[in-house]
Amino acid sequence: MIPTAFPPKEEIARLTARMLLEIGAVNFNTDEPFTLASGLPSPSYIDCRKLISFPRIRATLMDFMTVTVMRDAGFEAFDNIAGGETAGIPFAALVAERMALPMTYVRKKPKGYGKNARIEGAMSEGERVLLVEDLTTDGGSKLSFVDAIRETGATCGDTAVIFYYDIFPETEKTLGDHGVALHYLCTWWDVLAEAKRQRVFSADTLAEVETFLNDPRAWQDARKGS
């Protein structure tokens, strides 16, 4: 069912951050930093995939995503909802159900047999497609999915995520230069603010995480090889 309530953007961000903290999707560790996919260290790590195991939170966040997309992009702006393999698939299905639209998904690479397809499901030329994922860091991984969608003759000018890092200034430019608008529910700044309110981590840990968020490249450079 299409949600009809439209909480303010700031309230959506605060509540999303609160839910991510509540289920333990937010991880801060300044003593033993996490290693990101890039191989670089980080004192923070977010695991949005945990959301699929929490029905009440999952449902609320998908309502939030649906109303955010409709408010920002339009109520009749899309014909198809595509999930990026693999984390975006369940969220795309849930958003598609709410918007009463077809759902598809995009493989990271051709499957290597049969039609060698990257798009699974029915996507037609001229369809306006919303790409749904769990999160975005620098936006780079979205471009391959967008290109695969466009190769079908469909258009893709929007991507929606639950979580946006919002610490790399080039992200929105990278997407914008590719003709893609980013829609999101919350950022690391929202999570940090809520973590401070709840006092769920020590003051020293939060201070170090804030240092990282303000200049992640410098923080990482200082710890390479350590």
Query: Residue 135 belongs to a domain with what CATH number?
Result: 3.40.50.2020
Q: Does residue 2 sit within a domain?
A: no
Q: Please give the pLDDT value at position 79.
A: 98
- Rounded to the nearest integer, the mean pLDDT of the chain is 93
pLDDT reported for residue 91? 98
Evaluate if residue 52 carries a pLDDT over 80. yes
The parent domain of residue 83 ranges over 9-223
Is residue 44 a part of any domain in this protein?
yes
Residues 95/146, Cβ–Cβ less than 8 Å: no
For residue range 183-224, what is the model confidence (pLDDT) as tens digits?
999 999 999 999 999 998 999 999 999 999 999 989 988 887
pLDDT > 90? residue 139: no
pLDDT tops 90 at residue 117 = no
Q: What angle do CA 193, 196, 202 make, to 5 degrees?
A: 140
Count of domains for the chain: 1
pLDDT of residue 1: 67
Please tell me the distance from the alpha carbon of residue 212 to that of residue 196, in angstroms, as a whole number. 16
Residue 24: how many other CB atoms lie within 10 Å:
10
pLDDT score for 214 = 95
pLDDT band of 106, cuts 50, 70, 90? very high
In a domain, 43, yes or no: yes
pLDDT, mean of residues 127-139? 94
Confidence of residue 112 (pLDDT cuts 50, 70, 90): low
**With bands split at pLDDT 50, 70 and 90, how would you rate the model's confidence at 141?**
confident
Give the pLDDT confidence score for residue 226 in this predicted structure. Answer: 57
**Within a domain: 4:** no
State percent of the chain over pLDDT 70.
95
Angle between helices 55-73 and 88-99 (to 10 degrees): 70
Q: Taking Cα atoms as reference points, which of 30, 1, 22, 17 lies closest to residue 226? A: 30
Residue with tokens 């408010």: 71
Q: Is residue 147 part of a domain?
A: yes
Q: Whole-model pTM above 0.85?
A: yes
